[in-house]
Chains A and B, each alone.
Chain A
């Protein structure tokens, strides 16, 4: 199923105003409804190696697998949609690749990356994330954060030590509690969400949300939703105008129309009998 008629995707990535190179990586396949964003870390240029490996490993195989394993069909093992297992398997694979590269190459020792990935299918989005890269959603007038960071700061907010307002001024912003490629095993957080025509989904690295307030991000999506490409560029520009201290990456996915899977009468009968 080709989703390029149902999804409009725009993206932008920029080193920012301070860093000399871009350790963020993004990959987009509108036809498959697949978007991946990774924010690498590690000395020298290991960060961009880690994030590049993550986006490449996850997208290349997933593109084929989505063709042979319809993402909306339930996995016989647990009844969850195939998309969940496919995405999880690829994330584990990417984790192993990065971890092994880090183990075997001294210059890559300790590299890792955050990750957000989404697969769109059947009016749904399967979203996976690790670390502090985020997914936001603009639906009607409401702009909200969908993922919850795996970070020390988020844990402090959860435990009531600080309020989200105070968190903006914390110096511990940049400590993540989970990342891809730093341990032999990884635990991605995977959730399925409904999508509706008109939704705009935003995937971003912390270079955006650390520099631009949620309010201004929401305002941009609201006012520029007619021109998604411009909205993506505007978000990067706002981060840079505010200092651009980190690499900034954004992927915007707008749901143009319903993309429910048309099930034949046999499938429908099956569903009815169950």
Chain B
């Protein structure tokens, strides 16, 4: 469960756990977190917590609310954010069950019942209408959100996985082998590495931290250089011969995309599989030679 650490001039005053859906902050005594200081407004700010997410909102305070030094009106709190009200600091620490249980559980898709959680703020008009669900308590998945404020989203009660039952006559439980005409392809041969990242990156992780480039050696564009910064870079002439260079955590790879001829690396044609590229490899595509190299 997330908490706030209240401090002033580096001195920790107290710790507040965000158990309520709305936690109010202000000078007046009725606030959940009362800060008796004239720089703090009577009703200064509120933190709305939904499951593992907390949102800070300034309630039109006189002196404003800062998060990490920036004035905010509304802010989606991230772990280690520092909220400032006058001389007081509130550090937001989220060590929710999701973080504790690791990314595996966190990725598990679960069903949440419409209406099992209070809707804070204005009613969303665009949200899907609560389907006429005749809720069957025996059959709920992940409905540990019964209580008003945030339940733990990870409280999925996996129903008794009692084994030893005869498999029912369900048609085919296999993955994707449903029909005769089915075109499934198995994915890549699994490749090692790759740390779980907290959030996806906008582009592929840089190959070993090194950026590579291609320099064209022959033809009209001889001498031109192209940095391979994107996840995918295509080379060649569309309709004639095209290959793609992919940037992956384990390095750069060249793969044939279209055309009857396959790309040539160091004098040898590659096959349909992705081919790893090494420093100073010479590539040949649609009659043009080019060199692949790492930039320092």
Task: Give 17 A-B pairs besides A213-B200, A226-B238 with Cβ atoms closer than 8 angstroms.
Answer: A10-B183, A14-B188, A24-B175, A53-B172, A99-B139, A107-B162, A109-B138, A152-B117, A156-B50, A159-B119, A169-B198, A174-B109, A184-B134, A224-B232, A224-B244, A236-B188, A237-B248
B183 contacts A158, C-beta separation under 8 Å: no
B111 contacts A175, C-beta separation under 8 Å: yes
Q: From residue 210 to 259 of chain A, which have CB atoms closer than 8 A to chain B?
A: 210-213, 215-216, 219-220, 223-224, 226-227, 229-230, 232-234, 236-238, 240-246, 248-249
Report if B132 contacts A (CB, 8 A). yes
Q: Nearest CB to that of A171 among chain B residues?
A: B52
The CA of A154 and the CA of B244, in the complex, are separated in Å by: 35
Q: How many A-B residue pairs have CB under 8 A?
A: 321
Q: Which 8 A-B pairs have the closest CB atoms?
A: A14-B187, A43-B158, A159-B124, A109-B159, A171-B52, A44-B161, A236-B187, A226-B258
Binary contact track B80-117/A, C-beta < 8 Å → 1, others 0: 00000000000000001010000110111111111001
- Give the interface of B toward A (CB within 8 A): 48, 50-53, 55, 76, 78, 96, 98, 103-104, 106-114, 117, 119-124, 126-128, 131-136, 138-142, 153, 158-163, 165, 168, 170-176, 178-179, 181-188, 190-191, 194-205, 230-234, 238, 242, 244, 246, 248-249, 255-258
The CA of A110 and the CA of B112, in the complex, are separated in Å by: 12
Q: How distant is B128 from chain A, measured CB to nearest CB, in Å?
A: 6
B139 contacts A41, C-beta separation under 8 Å: no
Q: How distant is A233 from chain B, measured CB to nearest CB, in Å?
A: 6
Contact stretch, chosen from A57-65, A70-78, A83-91, A137-145: A57-65
The CA of A55 and the CA of B124, in the complex, are separated in Å by: 32
Say whether, besides A53-B171, A159-B123, A171 and B153 are in contact (CB < 8 Å).
yes
B78 contacts A240, C-beta separation under 8 Å: no
Q: How distant is B264 from chain A, measured CB to nearest CB, in Å?
A: 18
Residue from the list B50, B172, B176, B255 in contact with A13, Cβ < 8 A: B176
A28 contacts B205, C-beta separation under 8 Å: no
Q: Nearest CB to that of B168 among chain A residues?
A: A105
B194 contacts A240, C-beta separation under 8 Å: yes
A110 contacts B140, C-beta separation under 8 Å: yes
Q: How distant is B58 from chain A, measured CB to nearest CB, in Å?
A: 15
The CA of A216 and the CA of B183, in the complex, are separated in Å by: 25
The CA of A215 and the CA of B231, in the complex, are separated in Å by: 11
A48 contacts B188, C-beta separation under 8 Å: no
Say whether, besides A56-B171, A63-B179, A233-B188, A212 and B53 are in contact (CB < 8 Å).
no
A178 contacts B200, C-beta separation under 8 Å: no
B230 contacts A215, C-beta separation under 8 Å: no
Say whether, besides A12-B186, A18-B104, A31 and B181 are in contact (CB < 8 Å).
yes
A52 contacts B174, C-beta separation under 8 Å: yes
Q: From residue 163 to 185 of chain A, which have CB atoms closer than 8 A to chain B?
A: 163, 166, 168-172, 174-179, 182-185
Residues of A within 8 A of B202 (CB): 213, 215-216
Report if A49 contacts B (CB, 8 A). yes
Report if A39 contacts B (CB, 8 A). yes
Residue from the list A108, A160, A182, A219 in contact with B168, Cβ < 8 A: A108
Residue from the list A45, A170, A177, A223 in contact with B232, Cβ < 8 A: A223
Q: How distant is B156 from chain A, measured CB to nearest CB, in Å?
A: 8
Q: How distant is B167 from chain A, measured CB to nearest CB, in Å?
A: 9
Q: List 15 A-B contacts (CB under 8 A).
A: A27-B176, A31-B181, A36-B178, A43-B161, A44-B158, A52-B178, A63-B179, A172-B52, A174-B108, A182-B111, A183-B136, A184-B136, A185-B133, A227-B257, A237-B188
The CA of A97 and the CA of B96, in the complex, are separated in Å by: 36
Say whether, besides A22-B175, A107-B162, A158 and B134 are in contact (CB < 8 Å).
no
Residues of A within 8 A of B110 (CB): 41, 174-176
Q: How distant is B130 from chain A, measured CB to nearest CB, in Å?
A: 8
Binary contact track A128-160/B, C-beta < 8 Å → 1, others 0: 000110000000000000000010101110111
Report if A123 contacts B (CB, 8 A). no
Report if A114 contacts B (CB, 8 A). yes
Q: From residue 7 to 30 of chain A, which have CB atoms closer than 8 A to chain B?
A: 9-14, 17-19, 21-30
B53 contacts A172, C-beta separation under 8 Å: yes
The CA of A229 and the CA of B136, in the complex, are separated in Å by: 43
The CA of A4 and the CA of B56, in the complex, are separated in Å by: 53
